[in-house]
Each structure stands twice: as C-alpha cells, then as structure tokens.
Structure 1
Amino acid sequence: MAELFAYMGWSIWFNRNAKRVGSTSLPTEKIYNDAMEWLQEYNSVQEGPIQQDMVSHSNQWRPPPPSAYKINFGATFIDTDSAGLGVVARDSDGMVIASLSKCIRLPPMAADLEALACRRAILFTLEIGLQDVVFEGDSEVIINHLKADQPCLTAFGHIIEEARALSAKLREASYSHTRRKGNKVADKLAKLAKNLYEPQVWMEDIHSSALQFVLLDRGLMPD
C-alpha cells in the first residue's frame, strides 16, 4: 500500500508540473487506475522464492534461435519532461546487428513509456529489414498485453494496438519478458538518450559505453 501512495504522489506532482509548463497531463480521475497498473507490475517482480526459481532463466540475456534475431527494448525517465528509449538487435551469436538511442517527450503515464519503447523497437526492426524476431523487454505488463488475443483496453491500449499492427508486417514475431538484469544493453542505450539532441542509430555497432554489457551477455551465453 505504501508503494501505491508513493506512486500516486509522484503522479500528482508530475501532473502539476506538466500543467504548469503546458505539457500533456494525466486526468486526475485516471491517476488511481494508472497507479494500480504500476503496482501490479511492481508486485510481479517482487514474487517469493518459488516464483523466482520458475523464471530464473530470464535473469540473463538469452540468444534467439539461429534463424532469428532478438530485439531488446528499454525506457527510462530522464527529467520532468523527457525520457529515453533504447533498442538493440542481436543475432544468435550475440553480435549487434543495429542499435538505437532516442530522447522523447515524457508521456503522462509510466506504462505509456514502456509501450512506446516497444512500438519503436518494432518500427526499428522494420526499418533495418529484419523479419524473424523475438521482442524482449523488462515490463511484464506490456509483454503480457502484446501476447494477449483480446484488444488492449488500457489507457495505453492504442500504443499496444499500433505495435501489434506493425509486428503483423513481420514474417515471424514473438514476445519475451526478462528481468532488468537481462535487459542491461537496452537500458543503457535508453539512459544515453539524455545527451542526445536527435535519435542516434548504429549499424553493426553500438555506443562504447554499452559495449561492456554486450560482451558480458556474450560471455554468459550457453555453449
């Protein structure tokens, strides 16, 4: 319950600042629902030892099948009016195919940010011409919505539906959830957006500060 009140307090503070500078803000009546969605995700990664054992395989990055590519995406808050998105595409050997770092205007809800990161990852995949892919992020709420058969009726549902429509253009697409430890490369790229004035794309390369995490993931790959 303390986490719920803390998040609601942050949302009220964020809305006040957004209104002051003329930015988009979340309607007051939706703050509670947004906080409940956030709390659901928070609790999903705070499960006890039994659940931890069941998903322990997702604590580190795993390569895709030989014929496919894995696209990891991440998002982070930068300041009161901006956020960063990070995307990295890798093959079954853990080699970087392409990567992206982008700064965007901060959306009104935290879940919106993760959904936007996923949509950008799918669009980036289409832009670089990959067709058989696994999309992976550390927001279990977003991944579950993408996997669901029914329409997404949440406040960020339109972003999920756009992401689904984009992924339908791919030959093969699936979604995977990982813990934050398994998403370090994408998270690092998202944080790098703080210093960017325009989107940065690296083909068959990545920013030097994210390279250490790529090498670490490769070192942990199964033989």
Structure 2
Amino acid sequence: MGIGVVCRDGASAVLWGLPIVRTQNWDPNMAEAVAILDGLQEAERRGYRNVEIESDCLLVVEALKSKKVGRSITSLVLEDNLSLSNSFHSVFWLHTNRINNCVAHDLAHPVSRVVGRLVWAEVLPPSANAPVLFDISLL
C-alpha cells in the first residue's frame, strides 16, 4: 500500500513530499494514522517546531483533536501520534476535503513500487506537478 505525506509552508508552497510503500494492507483509518505518524516523524527530523496536520480522514482527526483514541489497533498508532506531538511547540489537527489532498494522494501511488520511504525535497516527482498546480488553484 502507498502512503503520501506533503509538507507545505505558510503560503501553501510544497516544501517536500514523502511517498512510502508498505507491505501491510491496512484499513483507511490505520493507513491515515500511519501517514500522519510518518509526517510527524519527518517534520521532527527536519527540526520543525510548529505544525498543522491536515487529513481527509475525519474520524482520525477527531480522535487526535479530542485525544480520545478508543480501543483498536489503530488507537495504538493514534497514541504514538499524540505522544510525538508533545515534542513540538504546537500541533493543530485539521480536517480537509479529499479534493484538497491531491498531492498526498498522488504521492501515495508512486510509479516505483519499491518498499520503503523516499523524501522528495525541492523538486517533486513529475507526476505530482499537476496535483500541486490543482491544489494551488483552489487557494
């Protein structure tokens, strides 16, 4: 399965993208929780202190906002997200519509299906250009 994470600056310009291919086959909530965790880990690695996390998965966003993660396998990853969020000065959990999540969706379907992670910085893969331009048109 593919996971896509996108980092933008305050003006919504794409700073980096993170396509990850995993061998697991998770339900959408688990996949989104893992994508958020991957994004938080990369943001921490890069030294970001204030982050806004946007997701098109309302259930995951609501669980993180309320800090009520429930009792499921997904809850373990949500707890990891909350724990890691404590290492930042501020974290905002935001829900966005799927149409506003085109770049991350595109990165989740990389051309190369090599298992692992690859960070695209400065220049995203050519396949992400159209979704980036589409996202910018929505702003």
TM-score, with normalisation over the residues of structure 2? 0.90
TM-superposition CA deviations, 1:164-206 (whole Å, max 9, x none): 1111101110111111101000000001165334311112221
Residue 52 of structure 2 corresponds to which residue in structure 1?
134
If asked which structure has higher relative contact order (CA below 8 Å, sep 6+), I would say: 2
Select which of 7, 21, 24 maps to 1:103. Answer: 21
1:118 Cα offset (Å) = 1.3
Aligned: 1:160 with 2:78: yes
- Paired with 1:217 and 1:200, the residues of 2 have a C-alpha distance of 22
Larger radius of gyration: 1
- Paired with 2:54 and 2:123, the residues of 1 have a C-alpha distance of 19
Note the residue ranges of structure 2 that are not aligned, 5 or more in a row.
none
1:152 Cα offset (Å) = 3.0
TM-score, with normalisation over the residues of structure 1? 0.58
- Paired with 2:95 and 2:64, the residues of 1 have a C-alpha distance of 11
- Paired with 2:134 and 2:27, the residues of 1 have a C-alpha distance of 32
Note the residue ranges of structure 1 that are not aligned, 5 or more in a row.
1-82
Aligned: 1:117 with 2:43: no
Relative to structure 1, the CA distance from residue 165 to residue 193 in structure 2 (aligned partners, 3 Å threshold; closer, same or farther) is: farther
What letter corresponds to residue 29 of structure 2 in structure 1? A
TM-superposition CA deviations, 1:192-222 (whole Å, max 9, x none): 165334311112221111122112222332x
Root-mean-square deviation (Å): 1.7
The structure richer in helix per residue is 1
Aligned: 1:91 with 2:9: yes
Aligned: 1:147 with 2:59: no
